Amino acid sequence: MERVILHIDANSFYASVECLYRPQERRYPLSVCGDPEQRHGIVLASNALAKLRGVKTGMAVWQAKQTCPGLVVVPPDYQLYLHFSKMLREIYEQYSDRVENFGLDECWADVSNPGFSIEDGRRCANEIRNRVKTELGITVSVGVSNNKIFAKLGSDYKKPDAVTVIPPDHFQDMIWKLPASDLLYVGPKTTKKLRDCNILTIGDLARAYTPMLEYKLGKNGLMLQAFANGWDRAPVMPTTAEAAIKSVGNSTTTPFDIKTLEEARCVYYMLAESVGARMRENGFRGRCISISIRTADLYTYSCQKTIDVPTNITSEIAEVACRLFAERYQRYFPLRSVGLSCTSLSMAQAPMQLDMFDNHAKREKLEAVDSAIDGIRRRFGNQVIQRGIVLAEPAIARINPKDEHTIHPVAFFAG
């Protein structure tokens, strides 16, 4: 049976949704931007008018305003975007029970069926595109091919509001002439390494000498060459199956540079509140706790520690993170941002080996306290109850990483 995979990408998603609710402002260049006062002041998404005037995602707000005088700047409303993301998925699920998210605004859908051809996929894609426009008032671009990588290339090939088919029998004519950087997971650093090897296009990558690619890029080189040749056979995760969650984490750019150990402890406790709550919410415990830092001159470092007993207790996660930081990174002050995550996850209901030296009664009480706090926050908001260590820094206490963090694409290999 021929595979027919769609990749559906909502065009300028955040900006498109905002324009629906701002009819007087959508006639002007508009960008959704973070808060400059919280040092998150970059462009997250722009409408077509702003893009025509040179505004690009990732620009600083001041730079975007210089590039496009008269730019309308609006703050992000992630709850609204989540609502639209769910409505988009409801449409996609009427065509397939195999729909896999790739961030809020992108999905793969496997519409394969016996006798269903790539041309049938084109008709299906156009029907979805028209329904989204009519029912939700925003536009999507859809790529159609026999694998996830080429379907993603197709949705990027022509925007906005378009369908692009990359046929499996002569895809070389269409995509091998494209820059190698257009391929999924070929970022700026990889692009530079490939350019140093005189690999400029996807076709160059497909035809490159395989041992050389492995030497230069390791296993990633082999994976990217497989992508370029259309050998990807990764399945689209069914709606009924939970994708394997590899980690739970949060990071934040603080309102001011972190310059002391006390300020770092404050931020790590704030992040641990978010990470712990999300693990409890999804029924996980973690054994590996990782921290990351970004210095004021934008260098990034990270380290991790594996603990004896899996945990989702906020105070245990925070204390491990603070010890790691004190041991490794005090010399790197000042810091612009920090991150915290838990990996090596197991289900919270899974049995654990008891240790006669571990105070299990105390841990059970801590879990009960955390669960009670979670319930209060669900009813009255995340900021209604906070730890004293976090309240020591009012500017940090106002950060709400659990509800206000930007949602990034899910890793391609998460399933």
For 158-172, the pLDDT digits (tens) are 999 999 999 998 899
Comparison of pLDDT for 49 and 383, the residue scoring more: 49
**350 shares its domain with 283:** yes
Mean pLDDT of 105-129: 96
Among residues 145, 166, 187, which one ends one of the domains? 166
Q: Are residues 199 and 267 in the same domain?
A: no
342 and 222 share one domain:
no
Q: For position 354, what pLDDT does the model report?
A: 61
Last residue of a domain, one of 148, 166, 184: 166
Residues 234 and 297 in one domain: no
Q: Which of 158, 17, 147, 157 is nearest to 88 (CA)?
A: 17
Looking at the structure, tell me whether residues 180 and 41 fall in a common domain.
no
**409 within a domain of the structure (yes/no):** no
pLDDT band at 95 (very low <50, low <70, confident <90, very high): very high
Q: State the catalytic residue, choosing from 18, 106, 273, 393.
A: 106
Mean pLDDT of 185-210: 94
161 and 184 fall within a common domain:
no
20-34, 350-364, 366-380: which is most confident: 20-34
Residue 125's pLDDT is 98
Indicate if 22 and 90 belong to the same structural domain.
yes
- Whether residue 415 is contained in a domain is answered as no
What was the pLDDT predicted at 111?
97
- Enclosing domain of residue 215: 176-239
Omega prior to 211 cis, within 30 of 0: no
For the whole model, what pTM was predicted?
0.70
Over the chain, what is the mean pLDDT?
A: 88
State whether 235 and 297 are in the same domain.
no
Pairing of the two strands 30-33 and 5-10? unpaired
Q: For residues 188 and 159, give the distance between their C-alpha atoms in angstroms, rounded to a whole number.
A: 22
- 185 with 103, same domain? no
Nearest to 153 by CA among 114, 180, 131, 132: 180
Strands 248-258 and 335-347: antiparallel
Same domain assignment for residues 356 and 225: no
Q: What percent of the chain has pLDDT over 70?
A: 91
Q: Where are the beta strands (DSSP E) in 218-299?
A: 248-258, 284-295
Mean pLDDT value across residues 38-60: 88
Given a cut of 60, whether residue 244 has pLDDT beyond it is no
- Whether 414 is in a domain gets the answer no
pLDDT band per the 50, 70, 90 thresholds, residue 91: very high
Q: What is the pLDDT of residue 237?
A: 78
Catalytic annotation present for 106: yes
Residue 171 located in a structural domain: no
- Mean pLDDT across the stretch 101-130? 94
Q: How many residues does the chain have?
A: 415
Among 94-98, 205-209, 222-226, 292-296, the range scoring the smallest mean pLDDT is 292-296
- Cβ-Cβ contacts under 8 Å for 223 (sequence gap 6 or more): 185
- For residue 201, being part of any structural domain is answered with yes
* 413 assigned to some structural domain: no
Average pLDDT over every residue of 52-67: 93
Preceding amide of 167 cis, omega within 30: no
Bridge-based pairing state of the strands 72-74 and 30-33: parallel
pLDDT band at 247 (very low <50, low <70, confident <90, very high): confident
273 and 129 part of one domain:
no
Count how many domains the chain has. Answer: 3
